[in-house]
Structure 1
Amino acid sequence: MTAQDGPTANASALGDAFSAHGRVFSNKELLNVGYVPNPSAIVARNDEIRRLATALNPAITGDNPSNAFLYGKTGTGKSLCARYATNRIAEAAADNDVSVGKAHIDCSQENTETRAVRATVRALNDPDETGITVPETGYGRSRYYSLLWEVLDDRFDVAFVVLDEIDCLDGADYLMQLSRATEAKKLRHCSVGIVGISNKIKYRDRLDERVKSSLQERELVFTPYDSDALREIIRSRLDAFDEGILTDEAVAECASLAAEEHGDARKAINLLRHTGELAASEGADTITVDHVHRAKNLAEQDRVGALLVGATAQQKATLLAVVSLALVEKTRTFKTSEVYSAYEDICAEAGLEVLSNRRVHDLLREWEFLEVLEIERTGGGRAQGSYLQHRLLEDPSVIRSVFDRSDRFAGIGFTAGNVTTTWSNI
């Protein structure tokens, strides 16, 4: 080992990573995913808030509120608006001596009926007031329901149960129980309003007709933010940075990129945070458009890399088939037959067993669940029937760069449009 390869050289090479960077952030907390902004920072959602408040408004006088379901892609402000509207309704009700309870349940975690009802009663209960203890384990579902009805009647005139990511909830029995509690005489005087939140706009189609009839919910669709709205959202977080370090051009570029790709406020703010971190690591005096572009690429590579780490070889092969087509055909939407043909070529090159069409379809659905793909059925016109279209939501060049670091799939060739190609000549 030479002196250059020794501990001193290693310390020198790593020194920048462990030394204090130049000042960029003054309050980085404002860029955290879990940060809930001040109501004044809610941008471009006045109409949705007004419609939701109208549905919930009867609670102000102690009457039955309407149920409401909020649909829209991730990062479009659904949860934020639900929290804001239920808080405002509860405050207005208090002025009328009406007690309103609020439970916000994450159905991606509390994804069974028992877990959901347990989480709800725990969120609404105050042991000091009710004398009721709700354990994490040890009770059956019916016992948790009994406790829920008891807590609701003891403490509240009206209660809002906000079910975030409601499409993750296994079955709809919980919705039936909540929506029919008064009719079934489970509750003596408390009314329950359900606010369901989902990024699956067709979630309602999965519900039993009895549930739909019982809910009678109002539906609100949250469209993706445009660049103007995203620019305002980003500007509402400017206090996260030292004064003068974030240029107007960088703000506009963050908003433009986010609006062009997804209209997701969370991702726009995430990009802003990654950009600031990159600028800080380089000791930059200002954050520029170049920082934005480089941070975007690095963040996307990290995110795609994290998805691929846990993926099987067959899962990777199906995704690589779509990416292959996107890079060659310069579009991002393909029929199942096109994807399967590219998948067969990749399996041949990688030495993988070729799975059936049905199994490949299942694997593609898994990428849809992870929001890497979007799959929808469409008509092919007269005499052509319907078929599935698979649209790649991620930048194919970013996914390719991650695959390039994979021993098994680096340099894999494939066929698309009767042209055989490889990564090296894309």
Structure 2
Amino acid sequence: MVEELGEQSERPLSITDQLTSEYNTVFNNKDLIEPDTIVDEDRIVGRDEQLNRVINIIKPALHGDQPEDMLLRGPSGTGKTLIAGTVATKAIKIGASRDVQMEFVEVNGKHKKSEHEAIHQITHAFERELDLEYTSKTGVSTSSRYDRLFDIVDEYLDFGIVILDELDLLVGDSRNKDEPPAFSDILYKLSRAKRIGKMDSSFTLIVTTNSPNSLMSGLNSRTDSTFNPTEVSFADYNANELREILSHRRDAFYEDALDDDVIPYVAAVAAQGEGDARFAIDLLREAGNIANRREMQTVHKSHVEEAKNQVEKNYVVDVIENVSFQKQVSLFAAAVVNLYGQTELGRSDYLTEMSAPATVAHTLYNWITDHEDIEQRSKHSFLRWMRELDTYEVIELNRKGRGNEMGVFAEYIFHNLSAEAMVETLADKDKRFANVLEDEELLKSVVQTNLKNF
């Protein structure tokens, strides 16, 4: 009988009991550190010049005049989309009080595969903001979607503000070498919407990009003659600015829920990469999530260290979901060189522990494709794919000399995301990558031999 009672007392709580038990969290207002939150202007740090320029470009709309289109250029996480969204939100509120009807929508080129898909999202977003009946996602031509978009803006708005985030990554899914990328056609049609759609109203385009050269060089001649944006540049944040940004969102957590060294440490980690505020905020949020899962009342530095690997993996997943398998193989090869070549990289006079020489990475690409019976493409294709991955800011393409007139070589630098996170994430995603890692000693030997001979 005693044993039976003991067994009963050790039974776990039911699902209902667990779900209805007391909930403790370190977060006071988690929205402040969610990725899509547009914060108040008093939380924007280190961007006074850019903020003022965007304000002055949008301001004519409040007086019925057409604002200029904008090109916001700079690395990821430097405040481009944040400032565009914050100013647009304020302008819409002020415009409503002056009988100037405005709305803004945002589409990210990284997550769209075609012009058709992007225009559907833009149209759908305006329908949602204006509480209109949604257009069907299927069975509607691209030209009909444009007609619907033009009709909506012309009937309900004076100005439709469209934020096209990372637009240079929207190249299209069936493009051949003679076709312009999808973003060129989108910019042409939206910048000429008044004429094409016979509209009284108009669009203002705010394009953000990490790679302005890729964007502008991808425009065909007719788009180049019609899309003439005003450029606003955004530089990397330094550690002090990142610390201030995080401090301005400190109230996302309850008082005393953050150890004193957490914000300085998060800022330092983010600054070691490319000064990416988005990465810093994601890292702080994930550290809080870890503390919550452990049912702890305080976020510690150890939680940040644990969160870093998960956030990096999330960033890698975000990239690899939107690139071809051959680009994944190329990235995996370069990351393997860096991860398993640390001994030789540390001995080199001209390589660093964060790099992978392009020629060695290509050799590993060939070795991996042979090992797993994957279609092997040319060196030219490999180098082109890695240049494209550079625009995603997953790796940084760098050229440097060896000295003593030994020439120049290309290398891939792992600044933002660690090679380890890339290798682990890709291996989790595809068994062929995991197979390559099974014989770790062989892989290490192949990498180090090629680095010695470099």
| TM-score, structure 2 as length reference | 0.74
Is the contact between residue 162 and residue 204 of structure 2 (CA under 8 Å) also seen in structure 1?
yes
**Aligned with 1:93: secondary structure?**
helix
Q: Give how far 1:302 is off.
A: 6.9
Q: What's the counterpart of residue 3 of structure 1?
A: none
Q: What's the counterpart of residue 149 of structure 1?
A: 150
Decide which of 399, 414, 419 is 2:445's aligned counterpart. Answer: 414
Alignment of 1:391-402 (within 5 A): 391-393=413-415, 394-396=417-419
- CA distance 1:413–1:45, shift in 2 (3 Å): same
Is the contact between residue 333 and residue 362 of structure 2 (CA under 8 Å) also seen in structure 1?
no
Is the contact between residue 337 and residue 447 of structure 2 (CA under 8 Å) also seen in structure 1?
no
**Aligned with 1:409: secondary structure?**
helix
Decide which of 397, 402, 412 is 1:375's aligned counterpart. Answer: 397
Q: What's the counterpart of residue 424 of structure 1?
A: none
Is the contact between residue 323 and residue 392 of structure 1 (CA under 8 Å) also seen in structure 2?
no
Q: What's the counterpart of residue 383 of structure 2?
A: 361
Decide which of 328, 332, 335 is 2:344's aligned counterpart. Answer: 328
- Paired with 1:288 and 1:399, the residues of 2 have a C-alpha distance of 26
Q: Give how far 1:258 is off.
A: 0.7
- CA distance 1:141–1:306, shift in 2 (3 Å): closer
Unaligned runs of 5+ in 1: 1-6, 422-426
Moved more, 235-244 or 66-75: 235-244
Is the contact between residue 372 and residue 392 of structure 1 (CA under 8 Å) also seen in structure 2?
yes
Decide which of 265, 268, 273 is 1:261's aligned counterpart. Answer: 273
Is the contact between residue 250 and residue 292 of structure 1 (CA under 8 Å) also seen in structure 2?
yes
Q: Give how far 1:51 is off.
A: 0.9
Is the contact between residue 335 and residue 419 of structure 2 (CA under 8 Å) also seen in structure 1?
no
Q: What's the counterpart of residue 173 of structure 2?
A: none
Matched, 1:73 2:104: no
Decide which of 106, 109, 112 is 1:107's aligned counterpart. Answer: 109
Post-superposition CA distance 1:346-403 (Å, at most 9, x none): 778x677894423543564575466432225678999888754322233345557779
Q: What's the counterpart of residue 192 of structure 1?
A: 203
- Paired with 1:137 and 1:387, the residues of 2 have a C-alpha distance of 48
- CA distance 1:327–1:236, shift in 2 (3 Å): farther
Alignment of 1:13-412 (within 5 A): 23-125=25-127, 134-169=135-170, 170-182=182-194, 184=195, 186-202=197-213, 203-282=215-294, 284=296, 286-297=298-309, 299-300=311-312, 314-315=329-330, 316-325=332-341, 328-330=344-346, 331=352, 332-341=354-363, 355=376, 356-361=378-383, 364-365=386-387, 368=390, 371-375=393-397, 388-393=410-415, 394-396=417-419, 406=434, 408-410=436-438, 411=440, 412=443
Post-superposition CA distance 1:209-251 (Å, at most 9, x none): 3212211101112222221221122223323323213122111
- Paired with 2:188 and 2:404, the residues of 1 have a C-alpha distance of 42
- CA distance 1:381–1:196, shift in 2 (3 Å): farther
**Aligned with 1:44: secondary structure?**
coil
Q: Give how far 1:253 is off.
A: 0.7
**Aligned with 1:102: secondary structure?**
strand
- CA distance 1:23–1:185, shift in 2 (3 Å): closer
Q: Give how far 1:143 is off.
A: 2.4
Moved more, 152-161 or 310-319: 310-319
Q: Give how far 1:254 is off.
A: 0.7
- Paired with 2:427 and 2:100, the residues of 1 have a C-alpha distance of 61
The amino acid across from 1:56 in the alignment is I
- Paired with 2:380 and 2:49, the residues of 1 have a C-alpha distance of 43
- What RMSD in Å do the two structures reach over aligned CA positions? 4.2
Q: Give how far 1:65 is off.
A: 0.9
- Paired with 1:353 and 1:143, the residues of 2 have a C-alpha distance of 41
Is the contact between residue 413 and residue 420 of structure 1 (CA under 8 Å) also seen in structure 2?
no
Is the contact between residue 247 and residue 287 of structure 1 (CA under 8 Å) also seen in structure 2?
yes
Q: Give how far 1:53 is off.
A: 1.8
Post-superposition CA distance 1:50-84 (Å, at most 9, x none): 11122222211111110001122222221111111
Is the contact between residue 101 and residue 158 of structure 2 (CA under 8 Å) also seen in structure 1?
yes
Is the contact between residue 414 and residue 420 of structure 1 (CA under 8 Å) also seen in structure 2?
no
Q: Give how far 1:185 is off.
A: 6.1
The amino acid across from 2:201 in the alignment is C
- Paired with 1:193 and 1:37, the residues of 2 have a C-alpha distance of 22
Moved more, 185-194 or 258-267: 185-194
- CA distance 1:367–1:294, shift in 2 (3 Å): same
Q: Give how far 1:196 is off.
A: 0.9
Unaligned runs of 5+ in 2: 1-6, 13-17, 171-181, 347-351, 429-433
The amino acid across from 2:137 in the alignment is E
- CA distance 1:346–1:33, shift in 2 (3 Å): same
Moved more, 54-63 or 371-380: 371-380
Is the contact between residue 254 and residue 271 of structure 1 (CA under 8 Å) also seen in structure 2?
yes
- Paired with 1:161 and 1:391, the residues of 2 have a C-alpha distance of 34
Identical-residue share of aligned pairs (%): 25
- CA distance 1:338–1:25, shift in 2 (3 Å): same
The amino acid across from 2:244 in the alignment is E
- Paired with 2:445 and 2:368, the residues of 1 have a C-alpha distance of 6
- CA distance 1:117–1:23, shift in 2 (3 Å): closer
Moved more, 395-404 or 144-153: 395-404
Q: Give how far 1:303 is off.
A: 6.0
Is the contact between residue 335 and residue 420 of structure 2 (CA under 8 Å) also seen in structure 1?
no
- CA distance 1:383–1:187, shift in 2 (3 Å): farther
